Structure 1
Amino acid sequence: MVKKQLIMEKALELFAKQGFEATSVQQITDQCGISKGAFYLSFKSKDELIIALIDQFIEQIFTDIDQVVRSKNSKKNLLYEYYYVSFQSFKQHTDFANILMKEYTQSLNEKLILKMHYFDKLINSDILLLIDRIYGEKVKHTKYDLLYCIKGFTRMYSELFLFQGIPFDLDMNLLCRSLVEKTNLLAQGMTLSFLNQEHMDFSGFQLQSEVTKEQIVSLIEEKVKEMDDSIVKESLLLLQEQTLDQTYSLAIIKGLLENIRNHPHCKWIAYLLGRYFDQKNTAEH
């Protein structure tokens, strides 16, 4: 296992048991069987390590949701699948989700807060796309309120599992179907809107500029250093070449993206590359 990933995995185990503040760099290095010097070659500080873990956690959840919202051809069961994937992602990362939600509510770490706000805006964009695909013009004047209702359902029911001790092994199918029913009732019955586009703009809803080609290339270079898997590594290198000078067809590029998409540490890069190539080909046509 690459040293950086080893540090992240062992640190995650400690953070889940003890919390961020109670866990020292020394405890992490002892758990990994490495020196402090080796730790600081991978991360400048414990805070940088925490941000890397948060990135990995939220990127995996977001990219799973994004893939459902954007790649499903039919709108049938789309809302159900959104809820199902959201709760399944929390289930897979229960320990870290638990501590992150607790630490975030008490955190004064500016980088952490900005990071959470950024991913919150990405989720907003996906939920709005989902709403448009399912309900269209029927919710034109209430879609922003519906957005926050959907987010509220996801968060509130996640907290039942994370904080109230309700086991994730309960009928997930029933939960998701019940939330679809509730969401549909709201979408069909709401007539008064509180939120509108102006509120979204004021709250900083619009995302900052897209990640640049240079930033994507840099991210790939860093990720390649961490990869042991030859197929994933080779696909990353080929995608890096295509980012700099696209010579392959879009079909081949999508095949390369599929090679890396399901790797737990490459989902975010696959998302960024997918958006980059889609926008590039849209602009050219």
Structure 2
Amino acid sequence: MIKKQLIMEKAIELFAKQGFEATTVQQITDYCGISKGAFYLSFKSKEELILALIDHFMMQFISDIDYIVKNTADEALLFEFYYSIYESFQKHSDFAKILMKEQAHSFNDQLIIKLHYYDRLFDTAILSMVMRLYGEEIQRIKYDLVFCIKGFMNTYSHLFLFYNLPLDLNLLAQSLVEKTNLLAKEATIPFISDEMVQILKEPLQQEVSVELIQDMIEQKIVEMEESIEKESLLLLKEQLVQPTFSRAIVNGLLENIRNHPHCKWIAYLLRNYYQQVL
């Protein structure tokens, strides 16, 4: 396991026990069995580590949702969307609890910008989903429906964050599919207008260029051990420089890296890039 990945995984365990503020860099390095020098080769500070963890979880979350929205048949899409979201909440509930509990201490301007950026990407995925499922019949209320779906997410996530209950994800997803369909069919009075959406929008944090994707791939190649994912990254890097593969081969390479936790974001960026250029 590479040191950066080790530090992130062990830090999550400590943060879950002690919180962000109470956990020191010295405790993290002791827990990892590494020197402080090794820590600072990966992260400049504890704050940078926290931001990296948030990036890691949000990148996986957004890339998973984007893949579901673009690759699931219409009749199963809404169910798979909700099921995946709450499966993620269940899996990462400890980290989410820490983030909510200590947000007053940890929410600086940089973090707020990051969260707004990911929120924008998530809004885009939801809007794409509802327009695909309901089309013109929800044109007037499409933004309200996006906000309602996000409201369902937030409210029901409390069951995972604050109550230690055995939850049936299948039933929960079915229930929210029914509620969403009812809103889409019966709601008639819009509140969120096009003008309001434009006011709420902010510039994206960073334009994603081919050069940026290449840099990210090169960094991952250096960090990763020999594997099919690393071989796929090498081929995808070559494809960006000099396209020779068919779309089918590119899709196969993206599938090879899609489920690797440290490659999901690259797969997400490449899917969107090739969707625009092909």
| TM > 0.5 | yes
1:59 touches 1:268 (CA, 8 Å); kept in 2? yes
1:104 touches 1:113 (CA, 8 Å); kept in 2? no
- Give TM-score, length-normalised by structure 2: 0.96
- Give the alignment of 1:16-165 within 5 angstroms: 16-72=16-72, 74-104=73-103, 107-163=106-162, 165=163
1:200 touches 1:206 (CA, 8 Å); kept in 2? no
RMSD: 1.5
Q: CA offset at residue 207 of structure 1?
A: 4.1
- Counterpart of 2:216 (choices 205, 216, 219) is 219
- Counterpart of 1:232 (choices 219, 226, 229) is 229
Percent identity (aligned): 60
- Give the alignment of 1:1-20 within 5 angstroms: 1-20=1-20
1:145 touches 1:195 (CA, 8 Å); kept in 2? yes
Equivalent position SS for 2:172 = helix
Separation in structure 1 between the aligned mates of residue 55 and residue 25 of structure 2, nearest angstrom: 19
- AA in 2 matched with 1:247: T
Separation in structure 2 between the aligned mates of residue 43 and residue 107 of structure 1, nearest angstrom: 17
Q: CA offset at residue 108 of structure 1?
A: 3.5
Equivalent position SS for 1:157 = helix
**Matched residue count:** 278
- Counterpart of 1:170 (choices 164, 167, 180) is 167
Distance 1:80 1:106, change over 3 A: farther
Structure 1 regions of 5+ residues with no counterpart?
none
Q: CA offset at residue 160 of structure 1?
A: 2.1
Distance 1:33 1:107, change over 3 A: closer
2:8 touches 2:53 (CA, 8 Å); kept in 1? yes
2:257 touches 2:264 (CA, 8 Å); kept in 1? yes
- Give TM-score, length-normalised by structure 1: 0.93
Separation in structure 1 between the aligned mates of residue 8 and residue 164 of structure 2, nearest angstrom: 28
CA offsets 1:181-210 (integer angstroms, 9 cap, x no match): 111111111111110222111111664664
What is residue 265 of structure 1 aligned with on the other side? 262
Deviates more, 1:121-130 or 1:179-188: 179-188
Separation in structure 2 between the aligned mates of residue 189 and residue 39 of structure 1, nearest angstrom: 55
Equivalent position SS for 2:159 = helix
